[in-house]
Amino acid sequence: MTDHDKRRVARVETTHTDEATARRLARAVRPDNTAEMETAANGCRVVTTIGREDTGGLHATVDDYVVNLTAGARVLSRERSPNNTETTDETTTAECANKETADTHGHDTAEYNNE
């Protein structure tokens, strides 16, 4: 098998303020997933795995997904904030801060692999 025959895979993880927000966001972006994408809430994180046959296709799909995820997070953030002013998820609540994993140190991650 040559490198061109290998499937490209990306895993995108984002951390949110609480588990309910992560679940709502995962549900919000899931309808836009293709058959080669899988999105799930895992505690305070939204984890999405994307597979494509070529790097260009993977890059385009990850880019589209991140735009959708960002838009969804902004909508949820505005719902939570008083007077509908925009907030960010940079500081997690105690609920999620206690569940952070050592490998990400509280930062969002993206991982690309060739299977």
Q: Which domains does the chain have, with CATH numbers?
A: 3-114 (3.30.310.50)
pTM beyond cutoff 0.85: no
The answer to whether 30 and 50 have CB atoms below 8 angstroms apart is no
The amino acid sitting at 2 is T
**Cβ contacts of residue 41 below 8 Å, gap of 6+?**
19, 22, 23, 25, 26, 27, 47
**Cβ contacts of residue 51 below 8 Å, gap of 6+?**
7, 8, 9, 36, 37, 58, 115
The string of pLDDT tens digits covering residues 44-93 is 999 999 999 999 999 999 999 999 999 999 998 888 776 654 444 444 45
The string of pLDDT tens digits covering residues 11-57 is 999 999 999 999 999 999 999 999 999 999 999 999 999 999 999 99
Q: What distance in Å separates the CA atoms of residue 44 and residue 106, rounded to the nearest whole number?
A: 11
Per-residue confidence (pLDDT) for residue 36, from 0 to 100: 95
Sign of CA dihedral 18, 24, 29, 34: positive
